[in-house]
Structure 1
Amino acid sequence: MSRTSHIAIALAFLLGLAGPAAAELKPGDAAPDFTAPAYLAGEPFDFDLAKARADGPVVVYFFPAANTPGCNIEAHLFSEAIDAFKTHDTTVIGVTAGNLDQLAEFSSNTETCSGRFAVAADTDASIARSYDALLALKPEWSSRTSYLVSGDGRILAVHSDMSPDGHVKAMLDAAATAP
Structure 2
Amino acid sequence: MRVVRLVLAVAAAVAALPAGAALAPGIAAPDFRTQGALAGKPFRLHLAEQLRSGPVVLYFFPAAFTSGCNAEAKAFAEATPQFRAAGARVIGMSADTLPQLQKFSKEHCAGRFPVAVASADVMRQYDVLLSRPGVTRTMSDRTSYVIGRDGKVVFAHSDMNPAGHVRSTLAAVQALARD
TM-score, length basis structure 2: 0.82
Secondary structure at the aligned position of 2:26 is classed as coil
Contact kept in structure 2, 1:20 and 1:133, CA below 8 Å: no
> How big is the shift at 1:169?
0.5
Partner of 2:114: 118
Partner of 1:131: 126
Q: Over the residues paired in the alignment, what is the CA RMSD in angstroms? A: 2.6
Secondary structure at the aligned position of 1:116 is classed as coil
Q: Which residues in structure 2 correspond to 1:24-63 (within 5 Å)?
A: 24-63=22-61
Q: Which residues in structure 2 correspond to 1:1-179 (within 5 Å)?
A: 23-98=21-96, 100-109=98-107, 112-122=108-118, 124-135=119-130, 138=137, 143-178=141-176, 179=179
Worse-superposed segment, 98-107 or 112-121: 98-107
Residues 133-177 of structure 1: CA distance to partner in whole angstroms, max 9, x if unpaired?
1159839x8610000000111000000000010000010000001
> How big is the shift at 1:44?
0.3
Contact kept in structure 2, 1:21 and 1:133, CA below 8 Å: no
Separation in structure 1 between the aligned mates of residue 70 and residue 97 of structure 2, nearest angstrom: 12
Separation in structure 2 between the aligned mates of residue 119 and residue 153 of structure 1, nearest angstrom: 19
Contact kept in structure 2, 1:34 and 1:49, CA below 8 Å: yes
Question: How many corresponding residue pairs?
Answer: 160
- Call closer, same or farther: CA 1:43–1:100 in 2, change over 3 Å: closer
Which structure carries more helix by proportion? 2
Separation in structure 1 between the aligned mates of residue 55 and residue 64 of structure 2, nearest angstrom: 24
Structure with the greater alpha carbon radius of gyration: 2
